[in-house]
Structure 1
Amino acid sequence: MSSNEDRRSGVASDPKEELAIRFVNTAAWRLRSSREERLPNAQAFLQWLAGNIPGSEQPLALINARWRAHPQGSAKAYEAAIALREAVYELLVARIADVAPPIEALEHFNALLVQPADGIRLGTIAGELVWCIDGASDPDLLKPIIMSAVNLMTGPKAHRIRQCQDDRGCGWLFVDESRAMNRRWCSMGDCGNRAKAQRHYRRSRGKSDSPSS
């Protein structure tokens, strides 16, 4: 198993990436015929939130207890989370391609954007402001992701959004922070390293196949 495969075997994500992109990337191998779902159920979604939104453990524990008592509610909240993820993905990919956003995805996103969510607040982690979940309602879970997506799509990083060019169909998104804005891979330690190894192999084969002088 390659390091890239191993990295996608769980829900861990790069804390340096924008929250919205980390959420979108919970679907792995998006450009394959059969992608891999890294949030298979509501419990996995809560686990992801706990690992990506610091300071939210107590309200998430309350929501978890309610979901265990009322599984139908958890199923509905999970479906809403996945629908948001796919809408954000479609909007970001449209931004990358510099085309008009899909109307259905935009309308779905806007409908969630205007929903009230009183249980979120700004907190500080290591001196930086971050979104925190401070309530126990299901809409509270999505609002930090929604606000992250809004800031990403309308802010100064919008033109730096990229999609990994790995030829196996990785499809993960990232923000290109390089000075030359020429980053092609989700991570040089994974897809980028594999592409580099492939180029080296092709060059080596080319030299070995050439007629000797």
Structure 2
Amino acid sequence: MSSKGYRHSSAGGDPKEELAIRFVNTVAWRLRTSHEERLSDAQAFLRWLAANQTGMEQQLAMISARWRTHQQDGAKFYEAVITLREAIYELLVARIADVAPPMEALENFNLFLVRSGDGIRLRSMAGELFWCIDEASDSDLLKPIIMSAANLMTGPKAHRVRQCQDDRGCGWLFVDESRAMNRRWCSMGDCGNRAKAQRHYRRSRDKSISSSS
């Protein structure tokens, strides 16, 4: 992963990706023994949500202020954030591998899903639609992510979800929108470009060895 642009930000990747994908990608280097956590606490999650879900600024500010006073509430909510994120990740990875989903992940996600019916609505802003939370309720913050994940896992894009094949252990997820459905990298500007450079280096090296022999 590079240190430039969205690849190094806490936003979780390409802003054009599904919200659930960006949420899962708040862990960098998924396939390494040591991951890089981009959501260090509840306040970091609020900042991530503000960067990824417009139209919620007032509600997020109210909750942020409350959590600064009642830090235990933020800490408890943060546990739910991580539980949801890892459940979504495990379900999507199982879908990629075409294997049965882990039961614990499925049960955890379903617990979030059954609570996600009320408290949110769509809001029109500058010709676009955004999720809006009616009241400053902690649990409602996760609902746009839950809806995004449920729609992704059951919709027409489910079979297009992929995991980056970078050999350093990137592990970010993405939706393959290519016509041939042969995309291998989370970003051609980073992991894909590095793989391309490596192939070029190996070809040049092999050609040099062949010429000198």
Q: CA deviation at 1:125?
A: 4.5
1:170 and 1:179 map into 2 onto residues whose CA distance is: 24
Other-structure match for 1:95: 95
**Contact 1:117/1:139 (8 A) holds in 2:** no
**Contact 1:123/1:131 (8 A) holds in 2:** yes
Write the deviation string for residues 12-70 of structure 1: whole angstroms up to 9, x where unpaired. 33210000000000000000010100000111100000011110000001111111110
Write the deviation string for residues 148-185 of structure 1: whole angstroms up to 9, x where unpaired. 00000000000000000000000000000000000000
Other-structure match for 1:161: 161
Other-structure match for 2:184: 184
Other-structure match for 1:63: 63
After TM superposition, the score normalised by the length of structure 2 is 0.94
1:211 and 1:65 map into 2 onto residues whose CA distance is: 68
Q: 1:14-53 counterparts in 2 under 5 A?
A: 14-53=14-53
Alpha carbons of 1:132 and 1:23: their partners in 2 closer, same or farther (altered >3 Å)? same
What is the aligned residue count? 211
Query: Runs of 5+ in structure 2 lacking a partner?
Result: none
Q: CA deviation at 1:145?
A: 0.3
Q: Percent identity?
A: 77
Q: CA deviation at 1:121?
A: 1.1
108-117 vs 151-160, greater mean Cα deviation: 108-117
Counterpart amino acid of 1:191?
C
Other-structure match for 1:139: 139
Query: Runs of 5+ in structure 1 lacking a partner?
Result: none
Counterpart amino acid of 1:4?
S
**Contact 1:123/1:132 (8 A) holds in 2:** yes
Instruction: Please state if 1:122 is matched with 2:85.
Output: no
2:116 and 2:153 map into 1 onto residues whose CA distance is: 21
After TM superposition, the score normalised by the length of structure 1 is 0.94
1:109 and 1:212 map into 2 onto residues whose CA distance is: 59
120-129 vs 59-68, greater mean Cα deviation: 120-129
Partner SS, residue 190 of structure 2: helix
Q: CA deviation at 1:135?
A: 2.1
2:180 and 2:116 map into 1 onto residues whose CA distance is: 40
Task: Please report the RMSD computed on the Cα atoms of aligned residues, expressed in angstroms.
Answer: 1.6
2:180 and 2:8 map into 1 onto residues whose CA distance is: 31
2:133 and 2:167 map into 1 onto residues whose CA distance is: 38
Alpha carbons of 1:126 and 1:194: their partners in 2 closer, same or farther (altered >3 Å)? farther
